[in-house]
Amino acid sequence: MSTSISGFSKLTKSEKIDWIVTNYLSNSSTAKETIVQYFNEDKKLQQLHDEFIENTISNYYLPFGVAPNFLINGKTYAIPMAIEESSVVAAASKAAKFWMDRGGFKTTVISTTKIGQVHFIYAGDFNVLTAFFKNVKSQLIADAKPITRNMEKRGGGILDIELRNKTEAINGYYQLHATFETLDAMGANFINSCLEQFAKTFKTEAKKQRNVSIEIIMSILSNYVPDCLVRAEVSCKVEALKDKHIPAETFAQKFVQAVAIAEVEPYRAVTHNKGIMNGIDAVVLATGNDFRAVEAGVHAYASKDGKYTSLTHAKIENGIFTFWMEIPLALGTVGGLTNLHPLVKVALDILGKPTAKELMQIVAVAGLAQNFGALRSLTTTGIQEGHMKMHLMNILNQFEATTTEKETIVNHFKTNIVTHSAVVSEIEKLRR
């Protein structure tokens, strides 16, 4: 029967495993074997992984793949991806090869501003608060100097601090809305440290004023970064979109229509954007960045006009097909896991040790390529044909197929439609 425990974090890893196995796992011997088999034999490397988070009992592996042939602004990249979903790397690679022969991807970093806020309550006169803020603003920046000094030496730091009145939403609610430039760092720790110092100074200075009484609620960065934007696009003559399944002009028109549907239909837009994030998250994860923060910010951006819509856009003008996306991406290439995880170092090395701006462009391209690949399949053969062929090996592994069985069945489905039931039928036929 399941049970609670005090002091779990103080147990050794071995004791944690034994407790979990005894109290929560039905097949204790097999479960412990599974947990232990994912340990790294290199004890130093294992300790490094153990110290990334708390209460570790093992490692959880994801496939680490590479999608080659990405031509971005005239430079060729092989893009590392960490993801478990079948067909993502294949689709990205196929889209990269397709556009390499048509001029490649063009990208531009539009802006790199990041945001943090001090949230507080004030019940007095807004004019009094405004005057107080104007007087204390320079002190807020000055008191944060020990935190910002090194960032400023590299060209970053605090860009501005604004007082924002949010009392229409919540009675007495105001913000210190701060903007930052963090260069090659994602900047979460830097921003949060600055914000907490702002709050400390703001509260201290307010106490010196008889008519300014504030209550700090919290100080935290925002993962919504609508001013940390990158644009990625591809374009070519419509006739260059020739496909063996469909005429070029028909394909272009269907593709543009498919994007238009995602722009107006939220049910489609969510799945459409999920496909974009297949490519983005895989590279974000491989390069040691925070894919949850990126996901949250991207989906908020997709709703910025009051309705959830497509992140990508497409058009045909004067015989030219153009497919593009502007997307917020707060990424880093220094700090955090980028300095610690050995495979993250490899991933960044594969990419030529990019700056944060360069990584923004690479990640955006991965998302655009993924979306192009998905829409190309949807508007021609349908998405299941390619996806299920990639998923075939997962089904075979689920049934513990031998090498010989795999070869026979893979060969069979080169000319037959892959479905789960069809694969099971073939396995059973072979084993009879």
Same domain, 183 and 73: no
Is the pLDDT score of 28 beyond 80? no
State residue 422's pLDDT score.
82
Same domain, 29 and 71: no
**Is residue 120, in this structure, part of any structural domain at all?**
yes
**Is residue 197, in this structure, part of any structural domain at all?**
yes
Task: Find tokens 């795999």 and name the residue.
Answer: 406
State residue 410's pLDDT score.
81
Q: CA-CA distance, 407 to 402, in Å (whole number)?
A: 9
Residue 333 vs residue 428, higher pLDDT: 333
Angle at 369 between CA 364 and CA 370, to 5 degrees: 100
**Is residue 57, in this structure, part of any structural domain at all?**
no
Note the pLDDT tens digit of each residue in 219-234. Answer: 999 999 999 999 999 9
**Is residue 270, in this structure, part of any structural domain at all?**
yes
Same domain, 126 and 169: yes
Q: What is the mean pLDDT of the chain?
A: 93
Same domain, 206 and 319: no
State residue 300's pLDDT score.
98
pLDDT band at 15 (very low <50, low <70, confident <90, very high): very high
Which pair of structure tokens corresponds to residue 338? 């980028």
Same domain, 347 and 249: yes
Same domain, 238 and 339: yes
State residue 341's pLDDT score.
93
Total structural domains in the chain? 4
Is 119 in contact with 217 (CB distance < 8 Å)? yes
Mean pLDDT computed over 396-420:
81
Is the pLDDT score of 181 beyond 90? yes
Mean pLDDT computed over 45-74:
95
Q: What is the CATH number of the domain that holds 185?
A: 3.30.70.420
Same domain, 73 and 198: no
Same domain, 94 and 240: yes
**Is residue 422, in this structure, part of any structural domain at all?**
yes
Same domain, 148 and 88: no
Same domain, 282 and 314: yes
Which pair of structure tokens corresponds to residue 308? 């959830």
Give which of 55, 49, 79, 86 is closest to 65, Cα–Cα: 79
**Is residue 17, in this structure, part of any structural domain at all?**
yes
Same domain, 137 and 165: yes
**Is residue 145, in this structure, part of any structural domain at all?**
yes
pLDDT band at 412 (very low <50, low <70, confident <90, very high): confident
State residue 2's pLDDT score.
55
Note the pLDDT tens digit of each residue in 120-179. Answer: 999 999 999 999 999 999 999 999 999 999 999 999 999 999 999 999 999 999 999 999
Angle at 368 between CA 93 and CA 297, to 5 degrees: 130
Name the β-bridge partners of 328.
229
State residue 326's pLDDT score.
98
Provide DSSP, 247-260.
Answer: -HHHHHHHHHHHHH
HSE (CB half, 13 Å, CA atoms) of 407? 3
Residue 131 vs residue 424, higher pLDDT: 131
pLDDT band at 387 (very low <50, low <70, confident <90, very high): low
Q: What is the CATH number of the domain that holds 89?
A: 3.90.770.10
Q: Which residues are catalytic?
A: 85, 274, 290, 387
Q: What residue numbers bound the domain in which 330 lies? A: 64-108+229-381
Note the pLDDT tens digit of each residue in 231-255. Answer: 999 999 999 998 777 899 999 999 9
pLDDT band at 382 (very low <50, low <70, confident <90, very high): low
pTM (predicted TM-score) = 0.88
**Is residue 58, in this structure, part of any structural domain at all?**
no
Same domain, 260 and 281: yes
Q: 138-156: b or e for each residue (b if 16 or more CB lie within 10 Å)? A: eebbebbeebbeebeeeeb
Looking at 180, 197, 222, the residue that finishes a domain is 222
Mean pLDDT computed over 296-303:
98
What percent of the chain is modeled with pLDDT above 70? 97
**C-alpha distance from residue 216 to each of 100, 104, 197, 413 (Å):** 53, 50, 12, 63
